[in-house]
Structure 1
Amino acid sequence: MSSRWWGVSVLRSAVAVVSLLVLIAGCGSTPRAELKTGPGITADTITLGVLTDQTGPFSPTTPSKIKGFELLIDEVNAGGGICGRKLGMTIADHGYDVQRALTGYFDLEPKVLGFLDITGSPMMEAIAPDLLQSRVIAAPTSWSADLLGNPNLMIVGSTYDLDVINGLSRLKKDGLLADGDTIGHIYVPGDYGQGALEGSQFAAQQWRLNLQAREIPETGTELPAMFAQLKNAGAKAVFLSTTPKQTALGVVAAEAMKWDVPIMVNAVGFDPAMLASPAAPAVVKRVKVVAPFAPFGADLPGAKEVSGAFNRKFPGVEATAAVNHGYSVGLSFASVLRKACGNGDMTREGMLRAFRQTDHLDTRSLTGPLRFSQAGRPSSDQSFLVKPDLDAPGKLSLIDGPFTSELAKQKASKPR
């Protein structure tokens, strides 16, 4: 064997080894020079938008939700960021005004890769056409099944209808509801109330229930009269898809008429401030809340981690379950960002592809396992059953969850 041949052979072997090492390294991350990027991405930052209500009717829960975003962003950045870039967010307040929301959206949209939050159904409806046109991913603070048909929306957790079905299924399992019984459902108009009603209607069809549905405006105060009607109709349970003030009004009415009926409420219908009002004893005694995410401080892996991080970063600050919601949304966005980075495409089109490739996302029981690959279907069919608790952090304590029911699985399998 000549020394010349040996030298060439060694050189070729070295080149092959180096090429293999480069290939292996490339599987873990995409070199910056090859990464395709979109709006909101610079050489060292990925910026996400938050379009929320900081001064309007839904402002009480906003600080906790934003703190949940902050905790996730801190965690990601402490680990080196994503694709060598730190995460950041830009917040705009719309005060629950559609025109202000549109102004804020069109100001933020060119500057961000996606939206961690768009609060408010009227705002979402006004903005949705441009989301489709600009190919932006957004996570609305809504769990309406009607939104599942929009491929750009990231609905994190079970939808209103599935929470209702899981709640009613729990009553049936506990022997408090049987086939053929009468149930009441009081709901506000719009995607929240009507979406929740879809759940009780589905259960009524399957179990031959006599559903007594009552619609009430968001500012309506007719809850005592409606509860009296439902009592006279022999309702075995009442589901409320109302505002927190209306929830308190209805529960106090049931207490006044000494009607010992199970009362279940969607998460949107509960506010910890209710427990600082005269309605507190009745709310604690009678209400169960069905939610798409775990209560703050629950004895679950993810909830314990989040509450620990929250207390270290915000000592002495009151928290609500909205912290877990914000963190879960941030966790979902981070998972999509990492997948897009691995694909070498962090444009908005690349984000949408990565979004639909994201499946079996483990939130450590902050929600049920999330799947975004099935367009038109909810990301989870699992709910949490919780109860108001004056002594619990966030004023809610866990009864059960995440759990699902056969009926919820059946409903969730039907694409929108």
Structure 2
Amino acid sequence: MNRKHHLRAAAAVAALAIVMTGCSTKGDTSDGSADSSGIKTGPGITKSTIKVGVLTDISGPAAPLGKSALQAEQLHLKQVNEAGGVCGRTIELTVRDHGLDVQKAVSAYAEIEPQIAALGQISGSAQTAALLDSIEKDKLQSIQIGASGTVLGKPHIRLIASTYDIDMVNGVAFLAKAAKLKKGDKVGHVYIEGEYGGNAAEGAEFAAEKAGLQLVPQTVKSTDKDLTAQVTALRAAKVKAIVFSGVPAQTASLVGVAAATGLKVPVLASAPAYVPQLLATPAKPALEKMLYIASPWPALSVDDPSVKKLVADYTSAYPKDPVNQAAQAGNGAASLLVGTLKAACAAKDLSREGISSALRSLTAFSEGFHEPQDFSDPAKASSTKTYIAQPAAGVPGGLKQVHGGTEDPAVAEYLAASGG
């Protein structure tokens, strides 16, 4: 199935709910005329502020990730504002918690949309999918935390770094070598139903077929916490490895139960499946031995000046909260937002159309990222490289890098076949 059109029926239902929600009264916004300095303005722009929205999960299944991404973005924007802001204005965030609930995301969007110039962060693949039509209608440039390739091709949605399916194509190629898998070997395939898991599954299925591996699928819901049944089925199938796209609580169950029942095989997981807090659970020994993480971001323990600065700044600002890879995504989103607004200011156009055009002008943007990103084409991921890491106690982010950012040759073939 074409990765750009892999949208679920639930998203369509939620999109209908947006229409039924009705229109809100516009807040303190401009009518699109130019200000005294000749800069065209629009919703969310005042003489002193640029108001930006955030829709994320800080109370639901992905809260450990959502909180870190939000705090990293808040920290970066605080630093930017203290240095003078952008275009003579302070950037203000309007934050709403959707708890990984589609309808809550729909309602929150309807509430804040009239008041903001852009969405500086939106998390949750299903939540984003439900809002696609409204975002495009409103021409509201939105930066998605998370990486479901299903939203590619929409002019006003921008993913950062590689996508879940690309990470799985790269990751399965790594796993096949690391686990010395042979053609015909069975590999467990556990993933959350919906946009996130479905998009990751597309990449995993392509890579498995390419390698001659036989996938044994097991689906879960984001609210499932006990994966004993799935592990039991995979053990009976005698799988030689497992690929997994879920949330952190499920990772501890999957790996812990597998190890306890004798299924001690390598597990490759998508980035949202891991937070360092898992190393405080009884599953810690199994996680350190069995788990690999396929991520768009390098491990926070790498010897890189920009990564070290992020870790130091985040740890100083939030000493009680362990830093994780979601903080890299939040920092990247904030950096992209600031870079976009600076480009829009230089073009003297802070209208919604001007902001979207400014983002697409960034063809080699590197601030806040591990390598230059090309944001010119909404139909393409800004990067196709994936990093592989393993859990490790006592290091920033709880991960040690075992394989640098690389693109397997199969990625180009996958993108050509899937229309990506």
1:372 aligns with 375
Deviations 1:198-221 (A, max 9, x none): 011111232222222222333446
* Matches for 1:253-272 after TM superposition, within 5 Å: 253-272=257-276
Following TM superposition, by how much is the alpha carbon of 1:222 offset from its aligned partner in structure 2, in angstroms? Answer: 7.1
Tell me whether 1:157 sits opposite 2:173 in the alignment.
Answer: no
Deviations 1:104-160 (A, max 9, x none): 222211111111222333432332221111100112333111111322111111111
Alpha carbons of structure 1 residues 37 and 93: separation in structure 2 relative to 1, 3 Å: same
- Which letter maps to 2:59? T
- Which letter maps to 2:318? F
1:382 aligns with 385
Q: Name stretches of at least 5 consecutive residues in structure 2 with no aligned partner.
A: 1-33
Moved over 6 A (4+): none
Tell me whether 1:185 sits opposite 2:165 in the alignment.
Answer: no
Deviations 1:220-252 (A, max 9, x none): 467444434434544332101123232222212
1:9 aligns with none
Conserved 8 A contact 1:146-1:191: yes
- Cα RMSD, aligned residues only: 2.5
1:295 aligns with 299
Tell me whether 1:395 sits opposite 2:398 in the alignment.
Answer: yes
Within the candidate set 318, 332, 344, 2:322 is matched to 318
Within the candidate set 273, 277, 280, 1:276 is matched to 280
**Alignment length, in residue pairs?**
386
Q: Name stretches of at least 5 consecutive residues in structure 1 with no aligned partner.
A: 1-29
- The worse-fitting range, judged by mean Cα deviation, of 209-218 and 46-55 is 209-218
SS in 2 for 1:154: strand
SS in 1 for 2:381: coil
Among the aligned pairs, what percent are the same residue? Answer: 32
- Which letter maps to 1:208? G
- Which letter maps to 2:381? P
| Residues in 2 aligned to 1:346 and 1:271: alpha-carbon distance in whole angstroms | 37
| Residues in 1 aligned to 2:230 and 2:96: alpha-carbon distance in whole angstroms | 39
| Residues in 1 aligned to 2:150 and 2:203: alpha-carbon distance in whole angstroms | 13
* Matches for 1:146-225 after TM superposition, within 5 Å: 146-174=150-178, 176-220=180-224, 223-225=227-229
Deviations 1:151-171 (A, max 9, x none): 211111111111111112223
* Matches for 1:336-351 after TM superposition, within 5 Å: 336-351=340-355
Alpha carbons of structure 1 residues 297 and 363: separation in structure 2 relative to 1, 3 Å: farther
- The worse-fitting range, judged by mean Cα deviation, of 377-386 and 122-131 is 122-131
| Residues in 1 aligned to 2:235 and 2:127: alpha-carbon distance in whole angstroms | 37
1:63 aligns with 67
Tell me whether 1:404 sits opposite 2:407 in the alignment.
Answer: yes
Alpha carbons of structure 1 residues 173 and 368: separation in structure 2 relative to 1, 3 Å: farther
Between structure 1 and structure 2, the one with the greater Rg is: 1
Alpha carbons of structure 1 residues 415 and 342: separation in structure 2 relative to 1, 3 Å: farther
SS in 2 for 1:115: strand
Alpha carbons of structure 1 residues 360 and 181: separation in structure 2 relative to 1, 3 Å: farther
TM-score, normalised to structure 2's length? 0.84
Alpha carbons of structure 1 residues 369 and 63: separation in structure 2 relative to 1, 3 Å: same
Deviations 1:321-366 (A, max 9, x none): 22111000111111221222222211111112122222121146x4
Tell me whether 1:136 sits opposite 2:140 in the alignment.
Answer: yes
- Which letter maps to 1:392? V
TM-score, normalised to structure 1's length? 0.85
| Residues in 2 aligned to 1:226 and 1:107: alpha-carbon distance in whole angstroms | 40
